[in-house]
Amino acid sequence: MPICSMPSPSSWSTTASAAARIADEYTRRLDNGEAQSLASEKQKLIDAANRTRRAITRLIDAFTDGLIEKPEFETRTRSARAHLEQLETQIQSQSELQTGHAEMRLIIGSLETFAMKIKQGLTAADEETKRDIIKAMVKRVEVNDDEIRIVYRINPGPASQTSARPFLQHCPADA
């Protein structure tokens, strides 16, 4: 006996080809050498930050040895610390971009896996598998007077089983 009386989606093959096209596009965008350029740019920023730290250390040593006066020391140190702060902000931005690219590769892997499963005959799959796939793709369904909007998500992690019978927000029995 089915858990939900709502009809199943009938366009599994269309969904598979759309998922494959999305994965291909993201793969193309990631493969254009951007990952290597991000890594080299981040390394250049790290090197510049290390040089700035050494310059600050040399300024402190020069002031301690009496080679420069206090006003010049303060001005040059303030300028070097401001430059170091900018570099560290840029390094953080580069790290976030690299993390985003890594997450995108995981998402692409999920999309490719999803497309492969659909191509292998999801129309013959059991209802629980179909439900799991829909749950993995749909974040929420928004309903108002004029339209129904499905908000999709692609989760890079494995699907978690929180209960024996999953909550189906579109099913009248769970509403």
Per-residue pLDDT tens for 92-141? 999 998 888 888 888 877 877 877 777 776 667 788 887 887 887 888 88
Provide the pLDDT for residue 108.
79
Looking at the fold, whether 137 and 94 belong to one and the same domain comes out as: no
Domain span at 22: 12-123
Looking at the fold, whether 55 and 85 belong to one and the same domain comes out as: yes
Provide the pLDDT for residue 27.
65
Looking at the fold, whether 115 and 169 belong to one and the same domain comes out as: no
Looking at the fold, whether 74 and 139 belong to one and the same domain comes out as: no
Looking at the fold, whether 90 and 136 belong to one and the same domain comes out as: no
Looking at the fold, whether 132 and 118 belong to one and the same domain comes out as: no
Looking at the fold, whether 61 and 91 belong to one and the same domain comes out as: yes
Alpha-carbon span 101 to 35, nearest angstrom: 8
For residue 122, the 8-state DSSP code is: G
Provide the pLDDT for residue 2.
47
pLDDT in single tens digits along all 175 residues of the chain: 445 554 445 444 455 566 666 666 666 666 656 667 778 888 999 999 999 999 999 999 999 999 999 999 999 999 999 999 999 999 999 999 888 888 888 887 787 787 777 777 666 778 888 788 788 788 888 898 888 888 887 644 444 444 455 555 555 554 4
Alpha-carbon span 135 to 154, nearest angstrom: 10
Question: Is residue 6 included in any domain, yes or no?
Answer: no
Provide the pLDDT for residue 58.
94
Question: Is residue 7 included in any domain, yes or no?
Answer: no
Looking at the fold, whether 89 and 175 belong to one and the same domain comes out as: no
Instruction: Please count the structural domains in the chain.
Output: 2
Looking at the fold, whether 114 and 133 belong to one and the same domain comes out as: no
Question: Is residue 169 included in any domain, yes or no?
Answer: yes
Question: Is residue 116 included in any domain, yes or no?
Answer: yes
Looking at the fold, whether 61 and 30 belong to one and the same domain comes out as: yes
Alpha-carbon span 19 to 110, nearest angstrom: 10
Looking at the fold, whether 104 and 148 belong to one and the same domain comes out as: no
Question: Is residue 61 included in any domain, yes or no?
Answer: yes
Provide the pLDDT for residue 149.
85
Provide the pLDDT for residue 107.
81
Alpha-carbon span 102 to 100, nearest angstrom: 5
Provide the pLDDT for residue 101.
81
